[in-house]
Amino acid sequence: MEFLTEYCISNVKVSSVACGIMGYLGNKGAVSGSMSIEGTSFCFTAAHLASGEKRGDEGRRNHQVSEIFRRTSFPPFF
């Protein structure tokens, strides 16, 4: 016997941040989603960062992550 549980999902918002060429062009960046489920807030982020194993590549990825965190903003909920 299956039980169907319903949850109240609200305040759904989406934000995207590009951080490819010159910080804006290309296919690097992230998409974030924010929502409230039964009054508890959640935020999920999926990112596509620069690749490579050369010296300095790790620093570039870390910089991209900090830019994603800095520039991610969700529109106000009305």
Q: Are 54 and 31 in contact (CB under 8 A)?
A: no
Average pLDDT of 44-60?
87
The pLDDT value recorded for residue 13 is 94
Q: Please calculate the CA angle 70-73-75 and round it to the nearest 5 degrees.
A: 170
Assess whether pLDDT exceeds 70 at residue 77: no
| CA-closest candidate to residue 28, choices 38, 16, 14, 15 | 16
Average pLDDT of 43-56?
88
Task: Read off the pLDDT of residues 11-33 as tens digits, 9 standing for 90 and up.
Answer: 999 999 988 777 666 778 899 99
The pLDDT value recorded for residue 35 is 95
Mean pLDDT over each residue of the chain, to the nearest integer: 86
